[in-house]
Structures are given as structure tokens and as C-alpha cells.
Amino acid sequence: MSRLTKVAALALATCVMASPALAEGDAKKGKKVFNKCKACHVVDKEKNRVGPHLVGLFGRKAGTLDGYKYSKAMVEYGVEWDEETLAEYLAAPKKVVKGTKMAFAGLKKEKDIDNIVAYLKEATAKE
């Protein structure tokens, strides 16, 4: 193996190890997990319930949806929702955002989180 090949292999390995690993979920199974969320959130209409609607969720800054009154804690949290931030939040909402209005305790199974993130990414995309 040439020196250049070794350097390239090392660089590739470093990039792979440095990037966060996100497990792939099953959107179909995630739809079933979303049943726990349906009382407060919708994915297919821009209509708020107890919680904000989730249309266009990915790429949106937390606490910024017009027409929904967020807790001060969520507004200050202000992350951009993506697979990682959503997975972290759904595991323990009250620990991640102390003072959130969301009453849901969180999803305990990592597979449920992976699946619901896959479902939400698909179901909330604006067309």
C-alpha cells in the first residue's frame, strides 16, 4: 500500500468515526409510535393543537413557529430541528429543555426514537 493510499484511508476512517452515527429508522413503524403524540401534534396540517403542528419541522428553529405560544425555555433552547436534536429531545424532553410545556415523558426505546424520527422526516416535509 502506497503512502498516499494509507493517508487517504486514515483520513476517510477519521471522517467516518468523527461523524455522528444515526441509526436508520422505519417510517412505517414510526407512524405507530406517533400515536403517542397525536393528541397534541399533527403532521399533515398547519394547525396547532395543545402542541405546535409539525409541518416543516426539520430545519426549523425550535420555539419559532408563528401562531404558537412556546414556553420561554423552548424559545431560549432555539436549536435547529434535525435528526440528532429531535432524537435527543424525544428521549427526555423535560431534561433537554427544562421548563418545556410538553408533558410527554419521552420515548425510552432507542428503536422507537429512530422510527419516529424517520416517520417525522417523511411526514412533515413540506411539498
Q: Determine the distance from the C-alpha atom of residue 126 to the mean position of all C-alpha atoms in its chain, rounded to a whole number.
A: 16
Buried b / exposed e along 63-87 (16+ C-beta atoms within 10 A): bebeeeebeebbeebebebebeebb
**Domain spans of the chain?**
25-123
In this structure, what DSSP letter does residue 61 have? Answer: B
The rounded average pLDDT for each run of 10 residues, N- to C-terminus, in the chain (127 residues) is 49 43 82 97 96 97 96 97 98 97 95 98 90
Query: Quick one: CATH architecture of 25-123?
Result: Orthogonal Bundle (1.10)
Q: What is d(CA 46, CA 25) in angstroms, rounded to the nearest whole number?
A: 25
Query: pTM of the predicted model, to two decimals?
Result: 0.80
